Chain A
């Protein structure tokens, strides 16, 4: 079954850009799925960030859209997240996930283990 693994710095300074990559294995990223990011501040609930199709089509959370870029690299079977101008409020566990379709909408079905990113000077 599909496996996802997040990678990237665990510490980012305020006002800088948070960058993470999700490596997908045992599954082609070019299949009929979206690939997404979800985050979870310590001790809090889940927040959907955004998703991307292998063609590059994206959906972003309205609350993060102005700072967010999600991209896909089909040759390396991975996708990435960039969140600019970070503050302490962006400190969270970041999960990547595969999004399956119910015919009209998408939902995460397989998740990576998550990676903690702390925003601090």
Chain B
């Protein structure tokens, strides 16, 4: 089955840049998406189609995708950005829609 691989945790100090990676064999041909999930809440769409931000998402959230790796960047991370972050994509078979294992971002 298809898998997306993320680091379990990332830690930065407030104001620093946080980068969270997501690797998957089909990413060269498929879009990546990013979700933020704060404790006890439903996930929120942060990035769609590799690089696009939905309305209302702060500009400090950006993303890129190159080859088999997608990267979420949080520029000037804030304490309120502490959350779990999940990438999402599909493989060449639309039946295989998967989330990465998630990355816990700590800002302290």
Interface of A with B (CB < 8 Å)? 38, 45-48, 51, 59-63, 95, 100, 102, 104-114
Contacts and interface: CB of A to CB of B under 8 A. Distances in A.
Given A46-B102, A62-B95, A111-B44, 16 more contacts: A45-B101, A46-B43, A47-B99, A48-B98, A62-B1, A62-B96, A100-B48, A102-B48, A102-B49, A105-B30, A105-B31, A105-B89, A105-B94, A106-B94, A107-B31, A113-B42
Nearest to B88: A107
Interface of B: 1, 30-31, 33, 35, 37, 41-45, 48-49, 54, 86, 88-90, 94-102
Contacts, number: 63
Contacts of A112: 42
Q: Is the interface of A mostly helix, strand, loop or mixed?
A: strand
Contacts of A51: 97
